[in-house]
Structure formats: structure tokens, C-alpha cells
Amino acid sequence: AKKVRVHHLAAAKERGEKISMLTAYDAVTATLLDASGVDMLLVGDSIGNVMHGHTTTLPVTVDDMIPPARAVATATKRALVVVDLPFGSYEAGATQALATGVRMMKETGVAAVKLEGGTRVAAQIRALSDAGIPVVAHLGFTPQSEHALGGHRVQGRGDEAAEVLADDALAVQEAGAIAVVLEMVPVEVAARITEILRIPTIGIGAGGQCDGQVLVWTDMAGMTDWTPRFAKRYAELGRALQQAAEEYVADVKKGTFPDEAHSFLE
Ligand code: KIV
Ligand code: NA
């Protein structure tokens, strides 16, 4: 299948064709998700929560992100692969953001980077874009700022907050962003931003009128007991995996595994 490129995202918005995106953190999962036909894979800093067991994304480092980003980029044939710039790797300014972005591009093989914030990171988005590094912005609930935002809360509620969010969206577009993730934003606010932007919006907890949707793959596949309200469980893979392991353990205990079929007889 033909590789998804940056210009295909704008073309999809133009045609009114929805864009699908999932997170991925390793090669085996990326291979399966890429084969599903998903348009974009995000090596999210949600790896901190999902794979490293942290309660926030704050401890994740650039060094943490590089091996999984390389694994996903290497395993992916079609989807456009994006990596998150983790907390602390771009906030200081354009110079820091560019250094981090260049390192990601050189060492991983991803096609784009993502960072959180609007007007406050416009200079960073401009510097990365000017260097030929496509940037996805992330607005609304931005997990790297969760302490400042007071926890996982819907953002852009009320006319004033909605106005600020729309201004941020226009600022990242102006700075050269190729798309904007909108996280935990009221449906009407996300719809309005989607309408005023040329670049695609990709929603997570932002309603059905965004140009695309993103979910954390372990939420989408039902790998864990709890999922956020905005995430739909398309399978119960956690239960299936535990059940498979239970059967394996029981077979080993009983001595019914390995049988002849799984042994070298000579
Ligand atoms: O890290 C992540 O998984 C994300 C998505 C939720 C957009 O940033
Ligand atoms: Na993220």
C-alpha cells in the first residue's frame, strides 16, 4: 500500500475523508495496526503511563522515546508515523525544540513530531517546520501540563476559553503545523475549530466533527480494566491475553505442554 504522506492529510480534509490514528509503542503492535489500514501511528509519550507504569507523562525522556519510535517506524509500511516530543525537550525555545526534533528525525525514521501547546510554542513549531520537520500540535487537555490544568478536565468550556483555544489553533496553523490534536474539548468547540482551520483536526474526546480521531491503542483494544469515557473498547484483548496465559500455565503445571507436536523427536 502507498505510504501516507503529509499532503494526504490536507487532501483528506479537503475531500471530507476522515483520518484515523492510533498510538503504538513497539514493532509487533505497529505491524498489526499498520496492516489494519490506520492512517497515522503515534509513538505517544503516553508510553509513560501505558508501558512504563507512571501515573503521568512527565517522567518520559527523549532517550525513552527513541527506541520505541525507531521500532514503530521500522515496522510500519503505510501509516504516517509521528513521535511525541516529551515534557522538557522543547519548552525552552526554538533552539531546544529544533535540537530535539533533529535528533528524533535522525535516530528514529519517523515522519513527524508532535508537541503540546498553542501560541506559547508557535516559535518552536515555526523552527521545526522551517527545518523540514512536519509538526502536529496538541491542544485542549495537554497531559504534560496536567498539574497546571488541575487534572484531566475538559478544556475550552465557555465562550472565553473557547476563544483562547481557537486562537491557539490558528496560531499553530500559522506557525506551520500540519495537523492539530484536540483532546477533551466540547463537541461544538472542536467543530468550530475544525471549520476555521485549513489543517486537519484529530480529536480524542472532542466529538465526531473533527477531521480525524486518535485513541491510545490499549484503550481501543480493551487491554486494561479501566478506559476513559471517550475511548471505545473495540475488543477485550486484556481478558484474552490473560486467559491464554492461564491456559499455558495450567498446561505447564499438568505437563501437557510441550506435547510431541512442539518437541524435537530426534
Ligand atoms: O501520547 C498520546 O497518546 C497522545 C494522544 C492521546 C493524542 O498524545
Ligand atoms: Na502525548
Nearest of 160, 158, 208 to residue 182 by alpha carbon: 208
User: Which atom of ligand 1 is nearest the CA belonging to 143?
Assistant: 8
Burial environment of residue 261 by CB neighbours within 10 A (0 to 12, 13 to 18, 19 or more): exposed
Reported residue count of the chain is 266
Tell me which ligand sits closest to the C-alpha of residue 144. 2
Q: State how far the Cα of 229 lies from the Cα of 204, in Å rounded to an integer.
A: 11
Task: State yes or no: 219 annotated in a binding site.
Answer: no
Residues 216 and 86 in one domain: yes
Task: State yes or no: 225 annotated in a binding site.
Answer: no
How does residue 215 score in pLDDT terms, banded at 50, 70 and 90?
Answer: very high
Residues 116 and 247 in one domain: no
Average pLDDT over residues 217-228: 97
Q: What is the 240 CA–ligand 2 centroid distance (Å)?
A: 27
Task: State yes or no: 46 annotated in a binding site.
Answer: yes
Q: What is the 3 CA–ligand 2 centroid distance (Å)?
A: 23
Q: State how far the Cα of 230 lies from the Cα of 103, in Å rounded to an integer.
A: 33
Q: Are 178 and 112 in contact (CB under 8 A)?
A: yes
Q: State how far the Cα of 115 lies from the Cα of 45, in Å rounded to an integer.
A: 10
Q: What is the 222 CA–ligand 2 centroid distance (Å)?
A: 19
Residues 117 and 43 in one domain: yes
Residues 158 and 247 in one domain: no
Residues 129 and 160 in one domain: yes
Residues 150 and 46 in one domain: yes
Q: What is the 265 CA–ligand 2 centroid distance (Å)?
A: 50
pLDDT in tens, 31-80: 999 999 999 999 999 999 999 999 999 999 999 999 999 999 999 999 99
Residues 141 and 257 in one domain: no
Contact 139 CB / ligand 1 (< 6 Å): no
Q: State how far the Cα of 37 lies from the Cα of 142, in Å rounded to an integer.
A: 27
Domain membership of residue 74 (yes or no) is yes
pLDDT in tens, 141-166: 999 999 999 999 999 999 999 999 99
Domain membership of residue 258 (yes or no) is yes
CATH number at residue 169: 3.20.20.60
**Complex ipTM:** 0.99
What is the extent of the structural domain holding 258? 236-266
How does residue 22 score in pLDDT terms, banded at 50, 70 and 90?
Answer: very high
pLDDT of residue 42: 99
Residues 220 and 245 in one domain: no
Residues 11 and 112 in one domain: yes
Contact 204 CB / ligand 1 (< 6 Å): yes
Q: What is the 112 CA–ligand 1 centroid distance (Å)?
A: 14
pLDDT of residue 1: 81
Residues 51 and 180 in one domain: yes
For atom 1 of ligand 1, the residue with the nearest CA is: 44
Could you tell me the CA-to-CA distances from 231 to 42, 56, 204 in Å, in that order?
16, 18, 8
User: Which atom of ligand 1 is nearest the CA belonging to 45?
Assistant: 1
Question: Based on the structure, what is the number of domains in the chain?
Answer: 2
pLDDT of residue 36: 98
Q: Read off φ and ψ for residue 23, nearest 5 degrees.
A: -80, 160
Tell me which ligand sits closest to the C-alpha of residue 231. 1
Q: Which of 183, 188, 247, 266 is catalytic?
A: 183
HEC letters along the chain: CCCCCHHHHHHHHHHCCCEEEEECCCHHHHHHHHHCCCCEEEECCCHHHHCCCCCCCCCCCHHHHHHHHHHHHHHCCCCEEEEECCCCCCCCCHHHHHHHHHHHHHHHCCCEEEEECCHHHHHHHHHHHHCCCCEEEEEECCHHHHHHHCCCCCCCCCHHHHHHHHHHHHHHHHCCCCEEEEECCCHHHHHHHHHHCCCCEEEECCCCCCCEEEECHHHHCCCCCCCCCCCCCCCCHHHHHHHHHHHHHHHHHHCCCCCHHHCCCC
Domain membership of residue 1 (yes or no) is no
User: Which atom of ligand 1 is nearest the CA belonging to 23?
Assistant: 3
Task: State yes or no: 114 annotated in a binding site.
Answer: yes
pLDDT of residue 97: 99
If you average pLDDT over every residue of the chain, what do you get?
98
183 catalytic? Reply is yes
Domain membership of residue 47 (yes or no) is yes
Contact 34 CB / ligand 1 (< 6 Å): no
Residues 200 and 150 in one domain: yes
Q: Is the peptide bond before 258 cis (omega within 30 degrees of 0)?
A: yes
Residues 177 and 262 in one domain: no
